[in-house]
Structure 1
Amino acid sequence: MTGRRCTRSTSLPPSTRPVSRATARAAGAALAIASFVAGCGIIPGATGGSGDDPIKVMTWAPMDSDVDSKPGMPAFAQAYERWINAHGGMNGHRLKVLVCDEHNDSVGAAKCARLAVQEHVVAVVGSYSQYADSFFPPLEGAGIPYIGGYGITTAEFTSPLSYPVNGGQPTLLAGLGRKLAAGCGPVTLVRPDSIAGDELPPLLDSGLKAGRHAEAGDQRAAEDATEYSAQSKKALEQAGTESGKEGCVVPALGDRTSTFMDSFRRVRADYPDVRAATVLGSVDQTVIDASGGKSGPYEGAYITGWYPVAGDPRWDGMKKVIKEQAFLDQRIDPADAGVQTTYIAYSVFKRAVDRLGDRDVTAVSVRQTLDKDVTVDTGGLTPPLHWEFAAKLAAVGFPRLVNANVTLQVVREGRLVAAEKGFVDVTRTLLDADLN
């Protein structure tokens, strides 16, 4: 190719832009990315998985940060590398997993993405980052697929190079709203005072409205606060009720949810008819244990998740990997949603590589296989996964959201257990949501 300069012509919408504009912009981005990759002749990872070369991928996450640290995700990825190679590799090739500490900041996310490009990885698998604006442009420019991100940014549900395995915050909040509509009096949402936080109330309200419940009270709070006494008291006052139905407070502050609940516990005694409810990612079994178990503030709380509870036998495959290759690695908790997402993401990637057969494993061939050829059966951990750009939820700004199923869990005797059998599909609820 001569006489032509290759430049990046577009980028996907940042995760903080209004979701009502995401579909149109993402569609344009899809065409621009395809044109860029084809016009510039980029074939990332062209030698990955050819001949005797290993298949090279990357997993990143904050590994040692003060907030939202997810060291178990890269640690599990490395354990999976050892396990798969001990069992013959992927389709006859050894797997090589690079890990990167994203440091929970935009600079770290961009560095990890640029390293992935420099190393010619064929995919980024099972990773966590809040900084889609920093990591997606380098990946898009090189045509590298992002498989099984944590689902924490809107861009993960709009980018044509993203292959999410769960429904992120949208499905968790919509599913939680549906449950609380049946069992709660007044509901108060405590969420970040940020543009990203502004997207959360309509999602919770979509579930509440589906159950003919009034909208939730909207309580804003700082993301980096060290205590939330004033916000806890105000939320409890808003959710307090004399109707005979319990009021419910829903903290959705990510890693700061535990900090909020410490304050919530101290002032809750005056409001015995109010309980907490939240979403997976804000709390898991380790958080429940650390907060006092059955005597802690989460007792009786409803929690929506993406997957079955950790004790479900459908996780036996993941636990086998941990037992054989990381039994003493305390970073890896099989009940952690990040570890679970990473396991599913690598299962998806393995399915794509197996489907390629004798063809070289490259970023291009992996994308083409996932786009056209593969429906992935995850053994009941999710519904069968198949990605297409114009998915059912494109109309509300989530064209890559292909798994709108959630599970309902509850804390009983200090343990997170299933509250209902099976999954709840919230596709219809999201389609009816007022996200404009």
Structure 2
Amino acid sequence: MYIGQITDTANATPLPESLAGVEAAIKRINAEGGINGRVITLITCDDKADANEAAKCARQAVRENVSATIGNNSNFGEAILSVLERGGVASIGQLPITQQDFASPVAFPLQAGSAGMIAGAAKLLASQGATAIALAAVDSPAGALNEQFANAGLAATSAKVLGLTLVPIEAPDYASYAATVARGSDGILIGMNSDQAGRFVQSLKQAGASQRIALTVGAVPPSMVIRLGAASQGLLVTSPFRPIEAGGASNAQYLADMKAYAPRAKKNVFSQGGWVAVETFVRVMKARKITDFSPANVLDVMGSLEDFDAGDMIPPLTTNTTLPAPYNRLFVNKVMFARIQNGQLALIDEEWHGGLIQ
């Protein structure tokens, strides 16, 4: 059985750990005898941060007759999914970045992506008492959408978005931007990558800001928490998966697989995403006792799930439902709430908080 994985190693912020998570899970599954007696052969392809190369990778996957692509990590979901649609090949657990990742009939994202995490972060701030929330994001098309997502997360609350401050990626100093979001707000939502988010938090703290601050889990890896030191205390965090620090059976297996098969790779939300994509596929195929791994059959099986238990890293998965556009494939519209306490990420509660994007 062949499985495809399309990744990006040429991006400004490459995430090779996504592939590492996929590889670690597959190696353990094969060591245990494969899926219903069939071992997995992984075919990887680098899209080289280019839409045309991404489409070529997808065409290769179709040509090689892969059962599915699993854990794709690319900025060019539209290019990939349009090819996979024509070939009738499922994309399971891809990192959802583009609109097509939530709309394609062959897409099975296992998380709410940045849209859901930003919406969740706004909802988390409101749950902690914030009523006037200011947003800061990278000055980019994706960053400009943060206000839309935050408003979606606040729809059922009395909290409001004060405004969105877009910060140029090349800005040498964040002090003026930090002052803008601090003015008149009692909650601040930062939608940036870890380096920028860390600098922004430091600028806020240096200016004496005391507001609640929320970020997505990818923005506060352990290395960033260490660098921030005391400034990280109390930061609110949304996670699309059960955080590694929160334990659980799936995280225990994930950590064991990473230690055994990818010991040098980072253990973070991106390697979690690759790992859980494989784990979900394997659990589904074993539960249904599948022996026909043709792309068409895998696509049918993946689209027939109802409250399927894929482990405790993600909530139960239902795919046999019709969701409204433009998020037709938003099967996991939930995140977990956490905060940084004494240098560690700790769950606020054990709930999956949903209803984020409508």
TM-score, normalization by structure 2: 0.90
Structure 1 residues 198 and 263: alpha-carbon distance in aligned structure 2, compared to 1, 3 A threshold: closer
Cα contact 1:229–1:264 (8 A) shared by 2: no
Aligned residue in 1 for 2:154: 208
Give the one of 263, 270, 287 matched to 2:207. Answer: 270
Aligned residue in 2 for 1:284: 221
Structure 1 residues 358 and 201: alpha-carbon distance in aligned structure 2, compared to 1, 3 A threshold: closer
Matches of residues 3-402 of structure 1 in structure 2 within 5 Å? 55-63=1-9, 65-67=11-13, 69-181=14-126, 182-184=128-130, 186-222=132-168, 225-227=169-171, 229-230=173-174, 232-241=175-184, 247-253=186-192, 255=193, 257-266=194-203, 268-289=205-226, 291-292=227-228, 294-295=229-230, 297-311=231-245, 312-314=247-249, 315-326=251-262, 329-333=263-267, 336-355=268-287, 357=289, 359-372=291-304, 375-388=307-320, 390-391=322-323, 394=324, 397-402=326-331
% identity of equivalent residues = 22
Structure 1 residues 105 and 264: alpha-carbon distance in aligned structure 2, compared to 1, 3 A threshold: farther
Give the one of 334, 347, 351 matched to 1:405. Answer: 334
User: What secondary structure, in the 3-state scheme, does the structure 2 residue paired with 1:77 have?
Assistant: helix
Cα contact 1:80–1:321 (8 A) shared by 2: yes
Structure 1 residues 116 and 80: alpha-carbon distance in aligned structure 2, compared to 1, 3 A threshold: same
Query: What is the number of equivalent residue pairs in this alignment?
Result: 355
Q: Give the Cα separation in 2 of the matches to 1:259 and 1:85.
A: 40
> What whole-Å deviation, never above 9, does each CA across 1:46-93 have from its counterpart, x for those lacking one?
xxxxxxxxx1001222235432x1111112222222211111111101
| One-letter amino acid of the counterpart of residue 221, structure 2 | D
Instruction: Mark the structure with the bigger radius of gyration.
Output: 1
Q: Give the Cα separation in 1 of the matches to 2:240 and 2:290.
A: 34
Q: Which runs of 5+ in 1 are unaligned?
A: 1-54, 432-436
Q: Larger deviation: 362-371 or 128-137?
A: 128-137
Q: CA RMSD in A?
A: 2.4
> What whole-Å deviation, never above 9, does each CA across 1:112-160 have from its counterpart, x for those lacking one?
2222123221111012112122211211111110000122222111111
User: What secondary structure, in the 3-state scheme, does the structure 2 residue paired with 1:210 have?
Assistant: coil
Structure 1 residues 263 and 424: alpha-carbon distance in aligned structure 2, compared to 1, 3 A threshold: closer
Q: Give the Cα separation in 2 of the matches to 1:310 and 1:216.
A: 33
Q: Larger deviation: 416-425 or 370-379?
A: 370-379
| One-letter amino acid of the counterpart of residue 233, structure 2 | E
Cα contact 2:135–2:188 (8 A) shared by 1: yes
Deviation at 1:368, TM superposition (A): 0.9
| One-letter amino acid of the counterpart of residue 137, structure 2 | R
User: What secondary structure, in the 3-state scheme, does the structure 2 residue paired with 1:159 have?
Assistant: coil
Q: Give the Cα separation in 2 of the matches to 1:374 and 1:264.
A: 41
> What whole-Å deviation, never above 9, does each CA across 1:395-430 have from its counterpart, x for those lacking one?
5x21111112211111112211112232212x2x53
Deviation at 1:275, TM superposition (A): 4.9
Structure 1 residues 358 and 214: alpha-carbon distance in aligned structure 2, compared to 1, 3 A threshold: closer
Q: Give the Cα separation in 2 of the matches to 1:273 and 1:358.
A: 55
User: What secondary structure, in the 3-state scheme, does the structure 2 residue paired with 1:417 have?
Assistant: strand
Structure 1 residues 409 and 143: alpha-carbon distance in aligned structure 2, compared to 1, 3 A threshold: same
Deviation at 1:348, TM superposition (A): 1.9
Deviation at 1:251, TM superposition (A): 2.0
User: What secondary structure, in the 3-state scheme, does the structure 2 residue paired with 1:218 have?
Assistant: strand
Cα contact 1:106–1:134 (8 A) shared by 2: yes
Cα contact 2:233–2:342 (8 A) shared by 1: yes
| One-letter amino acid of the counterpart of residue 103, structure 1 | K
> Which portions of structure 1, spanning 4 or more consecutive aligned residues, are displaced by more than 6 angstroms?
none
| One-letter amino acid of the counterpart of residue 313, structure 1 | G
> What whole-Å deviation, never above 9, does each CA across 1:224-257 have from its counterpart, x for those lacking one?
x233525x4234333234xxxx73332213x3x4
User: What secondary structure, in the 3-state scheme, does the structure 1 residue paired with 2:187 have?
Assistant: strand
User: What secondary structure, in the 3-state scheme, does the structure 2 residue paired with 1:215 have?
Assistant: strand
